[in-house]
Structure 1
Amino acid sequence: MKITRKLTLAIALTVLGASSASAQTYKKGDKLVNAGLGIGGGFGIPIGVSYEHGFTDRISGGGYLGYAGKNESFGDSGKWKYTYVLAAARVSYHFRIKDEKFDPYLGAILGYNIASVKWQGEEAAPASASAGEVIFGGHLGARYWLAEKIGIFGELGYGVGLLNLGVAFKL
């Protein structure tokens, strides 16, 4: 976890150091969608989708929905099925830099997660459990626009995966 914090701090300082008033890839009124896959988190390959609306030339807000699942088989007797769902509101601060295709941002999420484990098999079901809680977290990310309305993104921080990579769209 210490490496993640150091990496996040290093990226944040780089982005902050590169900030300047110049060409703008993000602006007020933009409608942005990210769809991606995650790495890390322990629940298989997570998928996530986020939507953000540009409230100002620097601030966007919207929602995030993520899902991750994993099965652990025990031969003919059955398997455990693990699921994790996260629904959250998110807000991001967009930095201005000289590259008009690059959109770095830093943000926070507030939401609710549900984790569950269930037994599926012919044998009698051992104890199954589920839990949910309110969560708060942060993210550091960037989009790189390949064309006017399509790009790629990467986010480091709280979500269903520690690192999320995927496709970005401007609606």
Structure 2
Amino acid sequence: MKKISLAFFFVAALLLGNTAFAQLEVGKGSKFLNAGIGLGGWGGIGYAGGIGLGASFEVGVADNITVGAIGAYRGYSGYGAYYSIGGRGSYHFNEILKISEDKLDVYAGLGLIYSGWSWNESFAGFRGSYGGVGLGGHVGARYFFKPNLGAFAEAGFGVAPLQVGLSFKF
């Protein structure tokens, strides 16, 4: 996993190259892709601990407003998996907070997320699944160290208490 993440980061950095920064704007047509890991705690349906993989994609629909999708997966070797998929929206606060840093994007939002848990305890013969729709929320920031490549961190509920990873702007 560590080798794959490092290779992914290296290839993305090479592809995006060195170019000058323009003012980071979030408006109609802006596109963001976050891909990373979810750390710890809970999911939309209860405790699910561990490290998971997740991604979100959002498109600007108006100044400072984006909407999109989110998904996450966390497997438990031999026992089952936890997964989430849903829609979300974010408001980007740079303008209101008068953040002049052109590499930083501060945002927060809500989502509607279907979360499920499936299990297979072969030693005991139990199999099943459970799922439901719940409300998700997030507060996060992206920092772009290249015009189209950065890092993100989000705290929230519905997928994982903390998510970190790479962010791409299209």
- Normalising by the residue count of structure 2, what TM-score does the alignment of the two structures yield? 0.75
How many positions carry a matched residue from both structures? 138
Contact 1:66 1:159 (C-alpha < 8 Å) held by counterparts: no
Q: C-alpha distance in 1, partners of 2:141/2:25?
A: 11
2:72 is equivalent to residue 66 of structure 1: yes
Q: State percent identity of aligned pairs.
A: 40
2:117 is equivalent to residue 115 of structure 1: yes
Contact 1:117 1:129 (C-alpha < 8 Å) held by counterparts: yes
What's the offset of the Cα at 1:159? 4.1
2:107 is equivalent to residue 86 of structure 1: no
| Aligned AA (1:82) | G
Structure 2 counterpart of 1:76: none
RMSD: 1.5
Q: C-alpha distance in 2, partners of 1:143/1:26?
A: 12
Q: C-alpha distance in 1, partners of 2:63/2:24?
A: 9
What's the offset of the Cα at 1:158? 1.9
Q: C-alpha distance in 2, partners of 1:159/1:40?
A: 12
Q: C-alpha distance in 1, partners of 2:155/2:165?
A: 12
Structure 2 counterpart of 1:157: 156
Q: C-alpha distance in 2, partners of 1:149/1:33?
A: 10
**Any gaps of 5 or more consecutive residues in structure 2?**
1-22, 42-47
Could you report, residue by residue, the CA deviation over 1:60-104 in whole angstroms, capped at 9, with x for unpaired residues?
Answer: 000001001123xxxxxxxx5131110010000001221111100
| Aligned AA (2:91) | Y
| Residues 15-54 of structure 1 aligned to structure 2 (within 5 Å) | 24-41=24-41, 42-54=48-60
**Any gaps of 5 or more consecutive residues in structure 1?**
1-22, 72-79
2:134 is equivalent to residue 132 of structure 1: no
Q: C-alpha distance in 2, partners of 1:34/1:24?
A: 16
Question: Higher Cα Rg: structure 1 or 2?
Answer: 1
| Aligned AA (2:87) | A
| Aligned AA (1:91) | G
Q: C-alpha distance in 1, partners of 2:166/2:106?
A: 15
| Aligned AA (2:35) | A
| Aligned AA (1:53) | V
| Aligned AA (2:114) | Y
Q: C-alpha distance in 2, partners of 1:25/1:151?
A: 15
Contact 1:68 1:160 (C-alpha < 8 Å) held by counterparts: no
Q: C-alpha distance in 1, partners of 2:28/2:111?
A: 20
